[in-house]
């Protein structure tokens, strides 16, 4: 494992004749991130793991301030992997000015996360485009937990006609079904107990979808979450997000949820 804070120095260590994969992360690594690294290593000769908390994708300054950070633990988790290069830059190595570009992702950028986190996808697309431009990887790996983000990045690549394959990888969960997230560490023991109800609700909703309308299912989900001490529903949708972008092919409906567990915001989804 080699660690760089300078993209110019990192570029000197890359063999441009080999297959290069990239796993963009914001650190606070967990088994979900490590599964992406393993997949990337299986597919490529060299893998870049970026660890950078990107300020432009946070629409809430308090959320940015609270986001968990521990670069020493992150590097320890990556230490056993061979053939990986870690990019852990400062803001100045990434941005000339701390601003995001203004992209048009059609309706895909306006629903769900786009609605509740204005500017978020512009920030995500800005940093991802920067990483792709810097390192010109052949393959890039993203988790399906952030499914709308995954589609945004696929749309970005097609929109800009970039020669990069975007690979979505399955959501990794704990033994109780809770989707792994860096934000899980911000929750108390009681809050984690409530958070583990989210996955159960998604699978109940999937069974109900045969006989009930989306609105009826949403009310049931909201009623259950409101009965818990720490939960508040933000949105619940059953939709095929591919239909919201001219750059994407519809690939089937999924169930999406976003909710607050105390002061921690969690999202999850499963296919129908």
Whether the pTM exceeds 0.85: the reply is yes
Position 267 pLDDT exceeds 80: yes
Spell out the domain ranges in the chain.
Answer: 2-169, 182-271
Q: What tokens were used for 83? A: 């053939």
**pLDDT of 241:** 96
d(CA 118, CA 139): 28
Average pLDDT over residues 217-236: 93
Helix ranges (DSSP H) in the chain? 7-12, 31-43, 61-66, 71-78, 91-94, 113-116, 120-135, 147-160, 189-195, 197-208, 214-227
Model confidence over 11-22: pLDDT tens digits? 999 987 889 999
The reported pLDDT for the residue numbered 15 is 83
Q: How confident is the model at residue 171 (pLDDT cuts 50, 70, 90)?
A: very high
DSSP string, 125-168: HHHHHHHHHHH--SEEEEEGGGHHHHHHHHHHHHHHT---EEEE
Q: What is the pLDDT of residue 230?
A: 87
Is residue 256 within 8 A of residue 269, CB to CB? The reply is: yes
**Does pLDDT of 31 surpass 90?**
yes
Mean pLDDT of 144-153: 98
Q: Put the strands of the sheet holding 264-271 in their side by side order.
A: 231-239, 254-261, 264-271
Per-residue pLDDT at 82: 86
When pLDDT is averaged across residues 91-99 and rounded to a whole number, the result is 95
Query: pLDDT tens digits for 53-84?
Result: 999 999 888 899 989 999 999 999 999 898 89
Report the share of the chain in percent with pLDDT over 90: 92
Whether domain 182-271 has CATH 3.30.1300.10: the reply is yes
Contact 128, 141 (CB under 8 A): no
Distance CA 180, CA 155 (A): 25
Give the mean pLDDT of the chain.
95
Q: Which residues are catalytic?
A: 33
pLDDT of residue 186: 93
CATH class of 2-169: alpha beta
pLDDT at 217: 97
């Amino acid at each position: 494992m080699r660690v760089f804070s300078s993209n110019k120095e990192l570029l000197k260590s890359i063999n441009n004749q080999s297959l290069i994969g990239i796993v963009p992360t914001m650190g606070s690594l967990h088994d979900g991130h490590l599964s992406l690294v393993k997949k990337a290593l299986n597919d490529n000769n060299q893998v870049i793991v970026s660890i950078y908390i990107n300020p432009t994708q946070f629409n809430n300054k308090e959320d940015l301030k609270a986001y968990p950070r521990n670069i020493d633990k992150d590097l320890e988790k990556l230490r056993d992997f061979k053939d990986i290069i870690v990019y852990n830059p400062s803001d100045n190595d990434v941005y000339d000015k701390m601003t995001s570009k203004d992209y048009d992702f059609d309706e895909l950028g306006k629903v769900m996360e786009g609605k509740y986190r204005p500017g978020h996808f512009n920030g995500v697309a800005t940093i991802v485009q920067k990483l792709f431009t810097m390192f010109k990887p052949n393959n890039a790996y993203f988790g399906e937990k952030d499914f709308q983000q995954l589609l945004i990045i696929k749309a970005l690549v097609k929109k800009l006609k970039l020669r990069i394959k975007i690979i979505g990888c399955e959501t990794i969960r704990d033994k109780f079904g809770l989707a792994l997230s860096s934000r899980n560490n911000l929750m108390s023991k009681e809050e984690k107990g409530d958070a583990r109800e989210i996955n159960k609700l998604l699978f109940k909703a999937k069974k109900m979808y045969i006989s009930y309308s989306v609105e009826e299912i949403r009310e049931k989900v909201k009623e259950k979450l409101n009965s818990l001490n720490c939960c508040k529903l933000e949105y619940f949708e059953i939709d095929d997000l591919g239909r919201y972008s001219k750059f994407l092919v519809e690939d089937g409906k999924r169930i999406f949820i976003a909710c607050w567990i105390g002061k921690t915001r969690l999202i999850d989804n499963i296919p129908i």
